[in-house]
Each structure stands twice: as structure tokens, then as C-alpha cells.
Amino acid sequence: MKRWVMIFIVLFMVSGCQDNPDKDEPAENGNQTENNENNANTEQTGNKDNDKNYETVQFKEYPGKIAPEFSAKELTEPPSGNWLTNGGNLHNGRYSPLGKITTENVADLKLEWVTSLGSGMEFKYSGESTPIVYEGVMFNITGANEVSAIDAKTGELIWQYKPKLAEGLDTVCCGWTSRGVAVGDGKVFVGLLDARLVALDQKTGEVLWETQVDEWEKGYTITSAPLYYNGKVYTGVAGGEFGIRGYMAAYDAKLGRQIWRTYTLPAPGDRGSETWPKDSRGWLTGGAPVWQTPAVDPELGTIYFATGNTAPDLDGSNRKGNNLYSDSVMALDADTGEYKWHFQEIHHDIWDLDPANPVVLFDVKMDGKMRKGIAQAGKTGWVYILDRTTGEPLIGIEEKPVPQSEKQKTSPTQPFPIGDAFVPQTVTKEDVKKDLPKDFNGKIGSIFTPFWDKPVTVKPSPQGGANWPPSAYNPNTEMFYVLGNDNYFAYAHYGEEEQEKFEQGKEYIGSVWQPVKDSPSRGTVTALDIKTNKIVWQKNWDTIAYSGILTTKGNLIFTGHNDGRIIAYNATNGKKVWEFKTDAGANAPPITYEIDGKQYISIFSAGNTLAGTKHGDKIYTFSLEGEYSSLEDIPRDDINAPPEKNEENKEKHGDDEAKSENGGGTVSTGADIYKGNCLACHGAEGAGGHNGPNLQDSKMINDKKALIEQIKNGSGTMPPFKDTLTEEEINAVAEYLMSLSKGEE
């Protein structure tokens, strides 16, 4: 039992989003707009009955001002005192004009406060959130979807919101996570993994309204931070690996009802439908999710975002054509959702090279003329730089012939941006000798090399290039800063047609992919000239780069490292000028803000499932007046934490022991533990994951001792689980994996 008072609030389901995107009947067009009069009586103040599908905990009175209905000007200005949106402002540039911390004094940066949030430490969770700061209060969300309001000056907790996610939720593709929240009009807006959009009271964390955006059972989830703008809350949906129909939608910030929804897959007869086979159901199951926070240009009245992969991800044999509007940058009318323009980065994607990185808007003088630009860093390893008014390239992008596969129905050409790639795009014979096992004898290729029944190892991989970790643009240096990944992945087509069939709510990948065993994973931190798309400087890491970037007027960039470090580089030349080691993978983007004239740097350091990093639950905040040079210097009692955390940990340990005693070695128990800790990397039933090998084909799968040793100690990019799982749980996972064996000794 918890020893603090819990406030239970009733949640009434708002019916503002009842149109089912998976209905068989074709929509009249790709955009659906609901009447503003529908569902007007949807806002609830709570305390109506005892449904108890969430709880809030109030630790202290709310000390700050309440957020207004921010004007376009307030949300467009570069973030200084506050950090108002996920990307800092509506342009997503993650640049701050704060300049008290500079290259000259950043070495004096020390830890000011640390706060333990008390959730999201299990391995299935990933800490990817960008905190929001408004008038001295910080808002952050953990991978468990629990939201905290924190005194941004001291780190003291103000309130926490703890939703009860849908029981049986099993359609989360790539680790349980959330990339942030939004603030406006006295509310904190939260997208939940079970596809709910929730508005919380900014002062208390109590639920004001809730809308069921879609059905998680069909593969729809929300992992991105919502965006508040002009009285609306914008959100997309994740789920491309489950054969969904992607879309961007706008909701009334006061009531929670849907205002418009624009699908990213055109219905038959709509613009773009000619890029799919006739009589195809691809418009209902073809993916193209939107799983990052959009950007807005209020002057143009336009909202911008990038769309995800097609479904099935890796099998193009039954979807001839370019498959619009997957793998595209899209521009819509921010008020109505009407289509304006698009630019497709990958035609007929069969490599899962979708543009996962948030778009960034910028203004720069080129050839004597100020241009409105938009940049998107692709998994391909290129940055696509466009005119955001028209969608035309600002710097050339050439259509070039690429290798073909008749079976995969590949596109004859692909877009090649002029400029430099920020990661390698070819596997060479020298790479094989240097990096791959001596017994490697597979086929190798380059970007856009197709595959079928024989494995082909190529670069970049489905991890990128650039993945979800946000990029940044500094108007002073006129450089675009991006994190990149460089690793070896092999692709091959399934042998059995049965595995390629769509089944609602099940992964729909269509082929197999996996990292090459015992091959290295590397990362890059790159600065590119926004006017030329050429590399100015680059830092190389011996692990993937999986966090995000902040840049400031102080000529600095800050980023997180898998080993727990937050690192500062000189923004002009890339020289490392400061670092601090946290207690978990620093796999979220840093931010900066100012209170009472003092500039702070803050990062959520909680680890990441797909990066295989150590997990934690803490926010670290630094200043030039900070007291602690290392984590070891700070007394344990000075770390802010929920008062119930230690008690809950004791209870959880007891529960785990009880579970282990009650059938910890069974296959069914092992399957449950596998889903929570291994599925994101290795996929359902050991195949089709995002950066783990196909376990069904592993020689180890019939060797229980070897399996237990691997689970305990890990190897390569796989982390050890000996400190995360009990002996009984490890044994149960091993038994489950052995049950997946194809019977080959």
C-alpha cells in the first residue's frame, strides 16, 4: 500500500476522434475535418466516480505562473528564459540565445541539482524526453508515461501524474517511451502509449480531459511529444511496423475534440493514390506514421513533419510504385489540415530508411536573398534541405538511377542530395576485413542495394544515419548539427509467404533484418554548413549516437552519450570543452533555461532499450554556480526523489521474488519477461526486431547454459541483465527462447 494520499479522478472518454482510420470504406479524400459543434461538452473536472485509471500525487503547492494561450510570436521566439515546446520553439531548432555559459567558462559548469523521478527504470522503458520549462517549473515524462512537475530552480517535485496504461498493451514497436509533453492554456498535454491524448491541470496534474486518439489493439500508439499552437494540440501516431494508416491530427486544446485529421496514405482516387497498385489495400495498411513532433511557420500558416516507413517495411513485392506519402516531408495548412506540398526522400522504401528525425525550420541568406528553409536529417545519412514555402530543394537534390530488383518492384531512381553524407553509405571489402568476422562471406552493398532471398549487408542501417534524436540549427554559426549511426545490418526476404500476410495488431515487416554478429557500432556528431550541405567538422564515437543536440549563443553544442556522459563541444570547431558522467545512458536531448539571471543546462538521463544502455530515472541540472563536480560528490540525501520510492522498490522486490517462486521457470512466464525486456531489439518470438539478431536462427537457442550466460552478461551491443532480472527470471527467458527453436541441433 502506498503511504501517501492519492487523488483519484474519473476519466470520461471524449468522443471527438471516433472516425476509424482502418474502416474498409474509402474516405472521400485524405483529410477528414469534423464539425466544431460536435462533442462540445467534453471537458471534465473529475471526482465523478472511482474508475481509477490514473492517480496524481501533490508534493507541494504549485509555485509558478499558469501558462497562457501562447501567441504565435511567443512560441516562435528563440527560447531564452523558458523552453516552451519540445524543439524549443515552433521551428524545432533547439537553439537558445542564452549566452552566459560560453566556450570560455563552460569548464566551470557543475551539478546544481538531481531529481530521481521514480519510474521507467525497467529495461523495456527508454528515457527520450525533452523537458519543458515555463516560469520556473519543469515538466518531464518517463518511459513509463509518468509525468512530473518539478521546481526548475531546486529540483523539488511538485506533482506527479501516473496513468494506468491499457492492460495487455503489446503493440509498442521500439521500446516503451515518450519524447515529451506540451504546455499551454493552463494545461500539460500528454500523448500516451495506448493512443490516448490527455490534458492535465498545470497546477495539480489532475486530468481535465482525455481523448482516445485511436485503438492500440490495431497497432496505433503515441510516442512523440504533442505540440500546442493557436488553441490546438497536434499529434501524430506511431505504428508503421503494425500496418497502420498514418496521420497527423489537431485537437481543441480546451475540450479535447478532434478538429481535423489528415491521413498520410491517400485513399483511392486521391492525390498520390496512383503511386500504389490499383485495388490495393495499401492505403489502409501501408504505414507512413508520424512519430516525431511537428514544426510550424505561423507566417505561412503551415505545419511540417516527416512520415515514416511503408508497411510491410522490407517487402516491396506487392506494393509497386513510390508509395506516397511514406518517407516524405509534408506541409499542411495548420488550421485545416489541407495538403500544401510534399517531398519524398525514399521512393518505394524496402530498407526502413524512413525520416525519423524531427524537421527543423530556419531562415538564412543565400545568394543575397533571405530564404525560408526546412531541413530533415535522414536515416540515409543525408540532410534534405528544402524551401519550406514550396517544398523545392534549396540545395540541389538529384534523381539518380539505383540498382534494381524485379521481385522487390524497386524504384528506378532515388533522390541524392548534393553535399556530404554524415555517415558511410557503402560496405567495402576493406570494411569486411577490418570490422566483420573472419568467417563472414555474405554479399555486401551500398545504400539502395536491393535484396531478396540471400542476405545482403549494407549501410546505412535501419538505425540510420539519423534516427529520432533531434538535430539543431545555430543561426550564428549557420551550421546544422546532427547525430548519426554507423553499423552493419543484413537484410533478407522471408522464405514463407504465410509470414508476409497482414494480421491486424501484429508486426508486419515482411522480411528479416539483423545486425551482423560481432560487428562494431559507431556514431558521429556532425556540423554541416546549411548553405552548402558540406561537413565543417565531425566527431567519431565508438558507439551509436542516440540522444539529441542543444546549441546556444555561447558557441556551444551539448549532447548525451551512451556511457552516461553529457558532453559540450565548441560549436564552431567541434573541440570538446566539458563533460559530466551521469549514472545511466544519457539518451535524451539537453535543454537550457534561465531563472533569476542564472542559466541552467538540464538533461534526462535514463537509458535506452534500443541503445542497450544502463537505465536510470534522473534529471541532472547544471549551472556555473553549481556545487558538485561529479555524481559522487553529491550526498544521497540531496538527491530529490518521491518519498515513496524506496518503499515501492522494497515492495516491487518482494513482488518479483513472489513471482519467481510461483513458476519463474515456465515458458509462459519467460514469454512475459521477454516481451518486457527483449522484444524491442529481437522482435516478436525472437525475429524481426530493430537491432538484435534473429534468435530463432541462433546456434545458441538449443543450449540453455549458453543462453543463461548471454542473458546474464550480454555481449557486443547487448547489455547484461544480471542486475536487472532474478536468476529465476533469466531461467524462464532461457526456457522461452528454447521453445522457439526450429528443432535443429
- The verdict on 328 and 371 lying in the same domain is yes
Please check whether residues 626 and 668 belong to one and the same domain.
no
pLDDT band at 513 (very low <50, low <70, confident <90, very high): confident
Q: Looking at the predicted structure, is the pLDDT value of residue 744 above 50?
A: no
Distances (CA, A) of 197 to 189, 296, 365: 7, 20, 39
Query: What's the confidence (pLDDT) of residue 29?
Result: 42
Q: Average of pLDDT values for 3-13?
A: 35
Residues 413 and 561 in one domain: yes
Range(s) of the domain holding residue 600: 13-96+106-608+615-630
Query: For the whole model, what pTM was predicted?
Result: 0.88
The answer to whether residues 619 and 679 belong to one domain is: no
The cell numbers describing 559, all together, are 549532447
Could you tell me if 583 and 662 lie in one domain? no
Q: What mean pLDDT, rounded, does the chain reach?
A: 88
Residue 158 in domain: yes
pLDDT at residue 731, rounded to an integer? 82
Look at residue 639 and tell me if it is in a domain: no
Q: Cβ neighbours of residue 634 under 8 Å, at least 6 residues apart?
A: 111, 114, 627, 628
Q: Residue 65 carries which side chain, given as an amino acid letter?
A: K
**For 130-183, what is each residue's pLDDT tens digit?**
999 999 999 999 999 999 999 999 999 999 999 999 999 999 988 899 999 999
Under the banding of pLDDT at 50, 70 and 90, the label for residue 727 is confident
Please tell me whether residues 212 and 317 are part of one structural domain.
yes
Q: Is the bond preceding residue 600 a cis peptide, omega within 30 degrees?
A: no
Res 495 pLDDT > 70: no
In a domain? residue 744: no
> 283's torsion region: left (phi>0), alpha (psi -120 to 50) or beta?
alpha
Weakest mean pLDDT among 17-26, 189-198, 351-360, 361-370: 17-26
- Positive or negative, the CA dihedral 362, 79, 359, 481 is positive
Closest CA to 97 of 111, 78, 122: 78
Q: What is the pLDDT of residue 676?
A: 66
Q: Of the candidates 630, 660, 683, which is a domain's last residue?
A: 630
State percent of the chain over pLDDT 70. 84
Whole-angstrom Cα distance, residue 165 to residue 136? Answer: 30
Q: H/E element holding 116?
A: strand 110-116
State whether 574 and 675 are in the same domain: no
Q: Is 638 inside any structural domain?
A: no
- pLDDT one-digit tens code per residue, 335-354: 999 999 999 999 999 999 99
The enclosing domain of 144 has a CATH number of 2.140.10.10
Give me the mean pLDDT over the 26-48 stretch. 37
- Does the structure show a pLDDT above 80 at 54? yes
The pLDDT tens digits of the residues spanning 193-243 come to 999 999 999 999 999 999 999 999 999 999 999 999 999 999 999 998 889
Q: Is residue 4 part of a domain?
A: no
How many CB atoms lie under 10 A from the CB of residue 74? Answer: 15
User: Same domain, yes or no, for 535 and 650?
Assistant: no
* pLDDT for 657: 40
Q: CA–CA separation, 692 vs 688, rounded Å?
A: 8
For the stretch 283-329, pLDDT in tens is 999 999 999 999 999 999 999 999 999 999 999 999 999 999 999 99
Residues known to be catalytic: 352
The CATH number linked to 726 is 1.10.760.10
What average pLDDT does the segment 439-447 reach? 95
**Residue 160's closest CA among 645, 636, 610, 580?**
645
d(CA 614, CA 605): 10
CA distance 626 to 614: 25
Asked if 223 and 129 touch (Cβ cutoff 8 Å), the reply is no
pLDDT-based confidence at residue 702 (cuts at 50, 70, 90): confident
Q: Are residues 183 and 318 in the same domain?
A: yes
Q: For 620-664, what is each residue's pLDDT tens digit? A: 999 999 999 999 999 999 999 998 764 544 444 444 444 434 444
| Per-residue model confidence (pLDDT) at position 156 | 98
620 and 655 share one domain: no
- More confidently predicted of 144 and 719: 144
- Phi and psi for 308 in degrees, rounded to 5? -90, -165
Percent of the chain with pLDDT over 90: 74
Confidence of residue 45 (pLDDT cuts 50, 70, 90): very low
Residue 637 in domain: no
In terms of domains, do 305 and 177 share one?
A: yes
CB atoms within 10 A of CB 365: 10
Between 18 and 231, whose confidence is greater? 231
Per-residue pLDDT tens digits for 376-416 = 999 999 999 999 999 999 999 999 999 999 999 999 999 99
Alpha helices in 273-385, H assignment, sequence order: 282-285
Domain's final residue, options 630, 662, 677: 630
The answer to whether residue 3 is domain-embedded is: no
Q: Looking at residue 38, what is its pLDDT? A: 38
Give the pLDDT mean for 447-474: 96
> Mean of the pLDDT values across residues 717-744?
73
Identify whether residues 437 and 501 lie together within a single domain. Answer: yes
Q: What total of structural domains would you count in the chain?
A: 2
> Does 203 map to a domain?
yes
